[in-house]
Amino acid sequence: MQQGIQGKVVVITGASSGIGESTARHLAKLGAKVVLGARRTDKLASIAEEIRAAGGESAFAAVDVTREAEVKALVQTAIEQFGRIDVMINNAGLMAIAPMSQLRTDEWDRMIDINIKGVLYGVAAALPHFEQQGGGHMINVSSVAGIKVFAPGGSVYSGTKFAVRAISDGLRQEMAGKVRVTSIEPGAVDSELKYGSGDQASREAVIGFYQQAIPADSVARAIAYAIEQPADVAINEIVLRPTAQE
């Protein structure tokens, strides 16, 4: 595997805002070639253009991570534009907080589809290339909610983020010696994520809790730390919270 960040080809899902956008900008500044995916292509186009204007290398493609073929096509964009993929960051996510008794099964479905199946489709898209290239780095964005359940309201979101950690550790064990696997577990980070619930009372409670949130760039730096390690070192988990968060 190539060392450091310079020259690495990094694919990022959910790159149109928040953690994904910050990570794309940060890694591009450090010399990575970044490939941005999300549904809002107008946002991706302007972020990719700003990265290029600042001297970086970038590409983008529309992707809905709940559609396996589109995630595969995003990785194919990296192969076509830059010849390889070194790092896959499965970051796209939805947090729809609400008490389970409200039975918002549509939001449960969305969270399972985006947060779990989206990560799995990212694994499926990148892994064959990693195996063919003789290495690679899978980074999955879980959450502090993947370590601790915040109830009432966070049960299903937590379930998806526990799943991301479980899938990450299983993949790590299976691919030891071939693929590095990192699970990122942030606490409250300032982004659009806090607006994800259809339940107004829950949404307002989340917005209140997020007053202590730290900037998305904090997570971008943690991700860069995992990528920049020498090839024989795998950072398997990073937990970071606002200092003020209990």
Q: Catalytic: 157?
A: yes
Angle between helices 68-82 and 118-133 (to 10 degrees): 40
Restricted to residues 127-156, the positions that interact with ligand NDP (CB under 6 A) are 141, 143
Q: Is the distance from CB of 91 to CB of 74 less than 8 angstroms?
A: no
Q: Which stretch binds ligand NDP (CB under 6 A): 36-44, 52-60, 97-105, 237-245?
A: 36-44
- 78 makes contact with ligand NDP (CB under 6 A): no
The helix/strand/coil state of 138 is strand
Of 38, 125, 220, 223, which one interacts with ligand NDP (CB under 6 A)?
A: 38
CA 14-52-66 angle, to 5 degrees, is: 20
Tokens of 110: 């969305």
Closer Cβ to ligand NDP, 9 or 63, answer by number: 63
- 48 makes contact with ligand NDP (CB under 6 A): no
Query: Which residues, in sequence order, are CB contacts of 55 under 8 Å at separation 6+?
Result: none
- 17 makes contact with ligand NDP (CB under 6 A): yes
- 77 makes contact with ligand NDP (CB under 6 A): no
Closer Cβ to ligand NDP, 18 or 136, answer by number: 18
Smallest separation (angstroms) from ligand NDP to the CB of 63: 5
Backbone CA torsion sign across 62, 63, 67, 71: positive
In angstroms, the CA 31 to CA 5 distance is: 6
Active site residues: 157
In the complex, which residues of this chain contact ligand NDP (CB under 6 A)?
Answer: 13-20, 38-40, 63-66, 91-95, 114, 141, 143, 186, 188-189, 191-193, 216
